[in-house]
Amino acid sequence: MEIVSPGIGLILWMTISFAILIFVLRRYAWKPILKSLHDREETIDEALNQANLAREEMKTLKAGNEKLLKEAQGERNVILREARKVKESIIEEARVKANEEANNIVENAKERIENEKMAAMTDLKNQIASISIEVAEKILERELSADNKQEVYIKNLIENANLN
Amino acid sequence: MNFPLFLKKSKAGFLLFIIIGMIIISGVATTSKVFAQHNESDPDRSEIIAEDVIEEEQNVGKIIIEHLVDSHEWHLWTYKGHHVSIPLPVLLIHNGEFHAFWSNKLAHGHQHNGFYLEEEGENKGKILRAVQRGMVDDEIIGEENSATLPLDLSITKNVLSIFMSCILLILIFTSIARAYRKREGQSPKGMQSLLEPIIIFVRDDIARSSIGEKKYERYMPFLLTIFFFIFLNNLMGLIPFFPGGANVTGNIAVTGVMAIFTFLITTFSGNRGYWQHIINAPGVPWWLKFPIPLMPIVEIVGIFTKPFVLMVRLFANITAGHTIILGFISLIFIFGNINSFLGLGIGIGFSIPFAVFMSLLELLVAFIQAYVFTLLSALYFGMAIEEHH
């Protein structure tokens, strides 16, 4: 059977050329190709990893931002509350102070009025006294001309004075 | 687009140009040679050819075998009884003497320096040296019609085809390697992106999974080479005319050499565990090893049957596919011999559709057989270096 009997020449040439083919392709084709494939795969892996890392970082950053925002809001609320409290206390204080002042003023005024009144009364009393003395002098000058009239008059005076 | 620009732009175009150029040059060269021969040849040449033609039509099996086996010339076409072939160098060593001449010297039964191409019998297709009955040192040597077989190292059709595919593979893959270096870190382009998936397939699905992550890199050059060599030659074998057409992977010598490479690499990379499993397999009852070493014998035979099976599988698959296609085509001539219209009808209605179908199937087989050969080689390497605990 010709078809299953290998030819010596063909075996020889095939061995030589196949060995050379393996050698040449190994040196000039497979090594560079496999190396660049390997390198490229590594680059891609690295890029993907980095993208993942960046995404993670973004997530944590976002969470941090939210936390910060919440904190800031809380702080603002606290500040506002405090401010309101301070405002209220200031107003309260002012009101208390004003009340006090007003009371003081009223008190002072009352005191002064009393003093003025007292002074006026004294003055009035003094004047009345001097007027009454003058009147008495005049009456005395006139009445004392007649004795009985004088007596009646004195009696009247005394009675009036007592009523006063 | 002017032609030099086209050449510069596309490497595939350049290769195509070379191949077409080779066809034209060789065709012209041989035609002139054949005609030159015819001028000097004897007058009964046409009768011989006519007989050839009749015989060819009658003996389909013989034609199919002739198409499958190696040949000393590269037959291109036959036109009006003229065989147009590319002459190939014939290199012979006979009795320590080296002879070299072109194969067209042997065409049509011619003898050259006593060498002739046997056309019948046991040595059909081989080059023989006729031993003429004569007197040498007062002794009658040789009998009538006897012949000796010289050592034939000719560049035959298959050898030339192997050379061409080697050059093609080197051109393709060095250019790809250059593309990788030039476009480092970038996505593949052109030929690179066509072959990269296959290279990655061989690496990840054949080498890595069968040999293992640690040591697969050492075997990658061999596996890639053998895969692409088989794949390319399978495809070339499907092309019915010149640059293809040689039945390289359907030749038992070629598949045998590749199987021997696998065998040698397996044997030389076998570790202690591998040899221990062959000689003294653990977990096997002692009476299978002593006194008759049944298991060791089976294992040692197994070392040799593995590459043998590799050789036969590829050879048989490719040969079978080609035989079926040739059979379908031959049907046209068988029926055409009865009636030319019947031949035409069979050709259009049956042979061509089925040959096309078979060719498509062969395309699949071309890939599968390259895959299987590579995968099994990788599995054998994996077995040889497997770490046993």
A interface test, pick of B90, B122, B161, B166 with most A CB neighbours within 10 Å = B166
- Which residues of chain A does B156 touch, with a Cβ-Cβ cutoff of 8 Å? 7, 9-10
In this complex, how many residue pairs, one in chain A and one in chain B, have their CB atoms less than 8 Å apart? 122
- Answer yes or no: do B159 and A40 touch at CB < 8 A: no
Q: What is the pLDDT of residue B13?
A: 54
Element (H, E) at B98: strand B97-102
Query: Which percentage of chain A shows pLDDT scores above 70?
Result: 96
Q: What is the spatial distance between Cα A135 and Cα B39, in angstroms, rounded to a whole number? A: 196
Q: Which of B115, B70, B123 is nearest to B94 (CA)?
A: B115
CA distances from A114 to A109, A118, A124, A126 (A): 8, 6, 15, 18
B111 and B17 assigned to the same domain: no
Among B140-149, B295-304, B316-325, B364-373, the range scoring the smallest mean pLDDT is B140-149
A15 touching B, CB under 8 A? yes
Nearest CA in chain B to A40: B185
Domain assignment of residue A144, yes or no: no
A interface test, pick of B252, B315, B326 with most A CB neighbours within 10 Å = B252
Q: Which of A10, A15, A22 sits opposite B251 (nearest CB)?
A: A10
Residue ending a domain, among B129, B154, B179, is: B154
CB contact at 8 A, B333 and B286 = no
Strands laid side by side in the B127-130 sheet? B115-117, B127-130, B147-148
Domain assignment of residue A100, yes or no: yes
| Cβ neighbours for A61, distance < 8 A, ≥ 6 positions apart | none
- Answer yes or no: do A37 and B162 touch at CB < 8 A: no
Per-residue pLDDT of B268-300, as tens digits, reads 998 888 898 888 888 888 888 878 888 889 999
CB contact at 8 A, B108 and B45 = yes
Domain assignment of residue A69, yes or no: yes
Number of separate domains in chain B: 3
Q: Check pLDDT > 90 for residue B357.
A: yes
Mean pLDDT of A62-74: 94
B interface test, pick of A1, A2, A8, A10 with most B CB neighbours within 10 Å = A10
Q: What is the pLDDT of residue B14?
A: 54
What one-character DSSP code corresponds to residue B224? Answer: H
Residue ending a domain, among B50, B71, B86, is: B86
| Cβ neighbours for B366, distance < 8 A, ≥ 6 positions apart | B231, B234, B235, B237, B238
A70 touching B, CB under 8 A? no
Domain assignment of residue A6, yes or no: no
- Where is pLDDT greater, at B346 or B28? B346
B126 and B82 assigned to the same domain: no
B60 and B113 assigned to the same domain: no
Q: Check pLDDT > 90 for residue B254.
A: yes
Q: Which of B158, B161, B193, B198 is nearest to B179 (CA)?
A: B193
pLDDT-based confidence at residue B147 (cuts at 50, 70, 90): confident
Domain assignment of residue A155, yes or no: no
Nearest CA in chain A to B179: A33
Q: What is the spatial distance between Cα A112 and Cα A119, in angstroms, rounded to a whole number? A: 10
| Cβ neighbours for B150, distance < 8 A, ≥ 6 positions apart | B92, B93, B94, B95, B99, B115, B127, B128, B129
CB-count burial class (<10 Å; 0-12, 13-18, 19+) for B203? buried
- Which residues of chain A does B229 touch, with a Cβ-Cβ cutoff of 8 Å? 18, 21
A16 touching B, CB under 8 A? no
- Answer yes or no: do B253 and A33 touch at CB < 8 A: no
Domain assignment of residue A96, yes or no: yes
B48 and B113 assigned to the same domain: no
Residue B89 is encoded by which pair of tokens? 């160098």
- Answer yes or no: do B253 and A20 touch at CB < 8 A: no
Domain residues for B16? 1-86
* Backbone torsions φ then ψ of B27, nearest 5 degrees: -60, -50
Q: What is the spatial distance between Cα A95 and Cα A92, in angstroms, rounded to a whole number? A: 5
Report how far Cα A158 is from the mean position of its chain's Cα atoms: 79
| Cβ neighbours for A73, distance < 8 A, ≥ 6 positions apart | none
- Answer yes or no: do A18 and B229 touch at CB < 8 A: yes
B150 and B162 assigned to the same domain: no
Domain assignment of residue A130, yes or no: no
B82 and B95 assigned to the same domain: no
Number of separate domains in chain A: 1
B118 and B20 assigned to the same domain: no
Tell me whether the omega of the peptide bond preceding residue B291 falls within 30 degrees of 0, making it cis: yes
Radius of gyration of chain B (CA): 26
B24 and B97 assigned to the same domain: no
B256 and B203 assigned to the same domain: yes
B139 and B75 assigned to the same domain: no
Give the amino acid at B268: F
A110 touching B, CB under 8 A? no
B327 and B213 assigned to the same domain: yes
pLDDT, chain B, mean: 82
Q: What is the spatial distance between Cα B102 and Cα B210, in angstroms, rounded to a whole number? A: 47
pLDDT, chain A, mean: 89
- Answer yes or no: do A29 and B184 touch at CB < 8 A: no
Q: What is the spatial distance between Cα B126 and Cα B71, in angstroms, rounded to a whole number? A: 9
Q: What is the pLDDT of residue B119?
A: 78
Q: β-pairing, B73-79 with B82-87?
A: antiparallel
- Which residues of chain B does A45 touch, with a Cβ-Cβ cutoff of 8 Å? none
Q: Which of A7, A22, A32 sits opposite B253 (nearest CB)?
A: A7
B231 and B261 assigned to the same domain: yes
Q: Check pLDDT > 50 for residue B220.
A: yes
Domain residues for A86? 11-120
Q: Is the dihedral of CA A74, A80, A83, A89 positive or negative?
A: negative
Chain B nearest C-alpha distance from A28 (Å)? 6
- Answer yes or no: do B70 and A31 touch at CB < 8 A: no
CB contact at 8 A, B176 and B195 = yes
Give the amino acid at B327: G
- Which residues of chain B does A15 touch, with a Cβ-Cβ cutoff of 8 Å? 257, 260
B interface test, pick of A15, A25, A35 with most B CB neighbours within 10 Å = A25
* Backbone torsions φ then ψ of B147, nearest 5 degrees: -150, 155
